[in-house]
Structure 1
Amino acid sequence: MTDVVRMPEHQASFFDAPVFSEGFRVFFPLTALYALFSIAMWGLVLADVLPVPFDADPLLFHQYEMFFGLFAGAMAGFLTTAVPSWSNTPKIAGAELAGLGALWLAGRVAFWTLDIFPSAIVFGIQALFPAALLVVVLPRLLRAKMRHLMWPVLMLCVAQLVCFWEYTELGVLNQGLAIAEGAFVLMVLTALAPVSMVIVNDALSTREDGAVFILRPPMRRAALFCISAFTLAKVLGVSDALQGWLALASACAVLNILQDWHQAGSLRTPFAKTLYLVYWFFGVGFALEAGGLLGVLSAGSYVSGQHMIFIGGLSLATFMVLTIAGLRHAGYSLQLPKVLGLAILSLIGACLVRSLGPLLVPDLDVMQIAWSLFALAFGLYLIHFLPIVFRENVDA
């Protein structure tokens, strides 16, 4: 009797691999890898080791790729992982997730060919990713009644279009970058709300009185309003004085959110301490910008404030989302591994050196120190997380 060979009902495909099972597995390591690559490239360019790849201010293009490359990748990983859970919809996985990752990679490759191909083609390729991300997550956000997360993604699409117009018509990147900065600050402050609830309540779990951490929405909305007004003022190019007062209002509004954090035991864990510090970096960063715009502090204070917001606010918040969401969704408990603790300290050091170093020690060349610490942080992240994203969840 001839044996009958039975084919499996479902033939595993390339897209069934664990790495394509959730958004964080694709976008978090890509974000960390690109952080290493981009900071190394720009460090060499700004140190005159490599030639400037574009006929424009390299600092502006450094900011551009931090926004549309690094931060956009992290945002995509967060949204594609968290939104399906919040909306009780199927996971964004398989070929759909791989396609989003491919669009993000195509945009990064296109960026580095800006001096080779027409800008319309380059910016057109880059615009595909935020547009596709919006198409994928928008129905889920509407279902979960979380429209507030939709607006930063829309702002990012607008920023991409404005950058294209500015570069082709004026050869600069000013208003588009201002919109992108505002979009990511709003996204981070919005996304930190549910993340902070989980982290701080975990820190409070040892209290016997059943204390609960609840963020009051009016305080966060006031901060979002002030930051939106400051962003609009920068885009419209209003007077430095008005921008300065709006920056100061943004600083006060962000720090006002921390009133909800002041409970005994709320900062017991390193996760809670770091997220608390993110708000301080945002607040002090806006205050430094205000001091520079109003002439109360030196002109360099504005640049220092920008770097405190970019590194201490946006980059550190991004790193914490990569860490917390990565651990939780891979099935691990909220225990900070030592290697990631060292990475967090390294990123904090990069922020302090780059933002406060030029103000406190003007003769010190802080660039290489800051870049090295920044690269070390994301390098350590990759060492810990790369093995995780290629295997099944530990609780699967």
Structure 2
Amino acid sequence: MTVTTDAGRKETNASPWAPAILSYGFRPFFFLAALWAGLAMIAWIGQLSGVLTLPIMLDPVSWHAKAFLFGYLSAVLAGFLLTAVPNWTGGAPLKGWPLLGLVLLWLAGRVTDLYTADLPAVVVACVDVSFPLILGAVILREVIAGRNWRNLVVLVLLGLHTLALLLVHLETAGGGYPAQGLGMRLGLATVIGMICLIGGRIIPSFTGNWLLKMGVDARPASPMQRLDKFVLAISLPALGIWVAAPDHIAAAVALTIFAMGHLLRLARWQGHRTAAEPLLAVLHLAYAMVPCGAVLMAISKIPHAPLDTAAAQHLWMAGAIGMMTLAVMIRATLGHTGRRLVAGPGAKMILLAVLVASVTRIVAGIGVGSAGWLYHLSAAAWCTAFFGYALVYGAALFSARRAAVQA
């Protein structure tokens, strides 16, 4: 059976040797990413409370950061790229046994994350880094075959993210504190760069399509105009300065300029008109957390600032990244499984939970009074959001695609 995707090309449903869960990259990777995000949070809280002791080399904070930034996000990136790139290039998606092999390699990386103290550091690093390397090779093959050269920049960012992961392993082997190390900052900066690049394409496009459907005359600025290219151009050195010298005054200035550019960019996308559709409005909100997070990080460098740097960074990590990835995961799941692109009760609950998780984590970092209950609330909301995604959309991910419906 074949069905027409939103991109207008034919998609073949699962065959007997390729069950539905292995018919498209987003299916296994989004499901496993959501489970890992929740389980890793529980494991981290268990470590902090002394209830759980893991045989790991990293300190709990660094393990927590790595589990999200390189464990969860590597699965989300794989699911997104293995789904989007075939649409960009017109090629066939990776499925069946090759997709299963990639999934098992990602799972191997998560297992080694839990036993780093019992395994040789070289083995742990090789297993962990091999996943994004092979993913990159698969994506590069598709880009070359489809001559889709403009998307090579996404591959460059993936390469930098892989380099960041390698740096984290080197910092761990050297006995450092990777949570505040070069590798984590580079990894975070590359993902923020992906949000700026890919979000800048899809958010105005989705918004324009929805406004047209609603009969609203206003339209967002078209993607990738001169202003967009200029803002992206200054974003590279701004993020680079922060990665290289996060405590220098130049980093605070660079982040402020970065924030101003992206706020101006966002203001042109008609986000204030999307409140009636949460699946769309949340994309604008998540993107807004990119410049807002940059401002908070600049403020956190001021002596006697009201919040710490870790709290400021969480507006990027839990807010911009957590909310953006969940919103994209929900949209992709609905669209690619033949369901209507509207936010049902489950989607609203998921998106509200991740918003609560990010906001309460920031407020806890202000340090007013006892923040212990806010940390617990943030963790509980986080688990609710990601386990909620697996629960609400798990059946769709494991089932064959429905016939196309009107969104």
TM score, norm. by length of structure 2: 0.88
In the alignment, which residue of structure 2 is the partner of 1:254? 262
In the alignment, which of 315, 318, 338 is matched to residue 311 of structure 1?
318
Q: C-alpha separation between the residues in 1 aligned to 2:271 and 2:357?
A: 29
Distance change >3 Å, CA 274–CA 181, structure 1 → 2 = same
For the 8 Å contact 1:285–1:304, the answer to whether it is kept is: no
In the alignment, which of 135, 139, 144 is matched to residue 148 of structure 2?
144
In the alignment, which residue of structure 1 is the partner of 2:363? 356
Q: C-alpha separation between the residues in 2 aligned to 1:15 and 1:210?
A: 48
For the 8 Å contact 1:214–1:260, the answer to whether it is kept is: no
For the 8 Å contact 1:182–1:228, the answer to whether it is kept is: no
Alpha-carbon distance, 1:49 to partner: 2.1
Alpha-carbon distance, 1:165 to partner: 1.9
Alpha-carbon distance, 1:204 to partner: 0.4
Alpha-carbon distance, 1:220 to partner: 3.6
In the alignment, which residue of structure 2 is the partner of 1:167? 172
Q: C-alpha separation between the residues in 2 aligned to 1:78 and 1:329?
A: 12
In the alignment, which residue of structure 2 is the partner of 1:27? 29
After superposition, residues 176-255 of structure 1 pair within 5 angstroms as: 176-205=183-212, 206-207=214-215, 209=217, 211=219, 214-237=222-245, 239-255=247-263
Distance change >3 Å, CA 69–CA 50, structure 1 → 2 = same
Q: What does the per-residue CA deviation read over 1:46-71, in whole Å, with 9 as the maximum and x for residues that have no partner? A: 22222364344321121111111101
Q: What does the per-residue CA deviation read over 1:214-256, in whole Å, with 9 as the maximum and x for residues that have no partner? A: 2244444444444432442244336521111112122212212
For the 8 Å contact 1:240–1:294, the answer to whether it is kept is: no
Alpha-carbon distance, 1:360 to partner: 6.9
1:332 paired to 2:334: no
1:67 paired to 2:69: yes
Distance change >3 Å, CA 297–CA 125, structure 1 → 2 = same
Query: Which stretch shifts more, 335-344 or 54-63?
Result: 54-63
1:105 paired to 2:110: no
Q: C-alpha separation between the residues in 2 aligned to 1:225 and 1:177?
A: 22
Query: Which stretch shifts more, 250-259 or 191-200?
Result: 191-200
Q: Kindly name which structure, 1 or 2, has the bigger radius of gyration based on alpha carbons.
A: 1
Distance change >3 Å, CA 313–CA 362, structure 1 → 2 = farther
Q: What does the per-residue CA deviation read over 1:247-282, in whole Å, with 9 as the maximum and x for residues that have no partner? A: 212221221211221377344421221111112212
For the 8 Å contact 2:346–2:388, the answer to whether it is kept is: yes
Q: C-alpha separation between the residues in 2 aligned to 1:302 and 1:369?
A: 20
Distance change >3 Å, CA 223–CA 44, structure 1 → 2 = farther
Q: C-alpha separation between the residues in 2 aligned to 1:96 and 1:217?
A: 38
Q: C-alpha separation between the residues in 1 aligned to 2:227 and 2:67?
A: 31
For the 8 Å contact 2:29–2:79, the answer to whether it is kept is: yes
Q: C-alpha separation between the residues in 2 aligned to 1:295 and 1:110?
A: 40
One-letter amino acid of the structure 2 residue matched with residue 196 of structure 1: I
Q: C-alpha separation between the residues in 1 aligned to 2:317 and 2:192?
A: 9
In structure 2, runs of 5+ residues without a counterpart are 1-13
In the alignment, which residue of structure 1 is the partner of 2:379? 371
Distance change >3 Å, CA 253–CA 113, structure 1 → 2 = same
In the alignment, which of 83, 91, 104 is matched to residue 81 of structure 1?
83
Q: C-alpha separation between the residues in 1 aligned to 2:164 and 2:201?
A: 26
In the alignment, which residue of structure 1 is the partner of 2:294? 286
TM score, norm. by length of structure 1: 0.90
Query: Which stretch shifts more, 353-362 or 384-393?
Result: 353-362
Aligned residue pairs total 384
Q: Percent identity?
A: 23
Distance change >3 Å, CA 82–CA 169, structure 1 → 2 = same
Alpha-carbon distance, 1:148 to partner: 1.8
For the 8 Å contact 2:239–2:254, the answer to whether it is kept is: no
Q: What does the per-residue CA deviation read over 1:196-222, in whole Å, with 9 as the maximum and x for residues that have no partner? A: 144212320222648465224444444
For the 8 Å contact 2:57–2:172, the answer to whether it is kept is: no
In the alignment, which residue of structure 2 is the partner of 1:45? 47
Q: C-alpha separation between the residues in 2 aligned to 1:161 and 1:263?
A: 38
One-letter amino acid of the structure 2 residue matched with residue 168 of structure 1: A
In the alignment, which residue of structure 1 is the partner of 2:162? 157
Q: C-alpha separation between the residues in 2 aligned to 1:152 and 1:48?
A: 37
For the 8 Å contact 1:213–1:261, the answer to whether it is kept is: yes
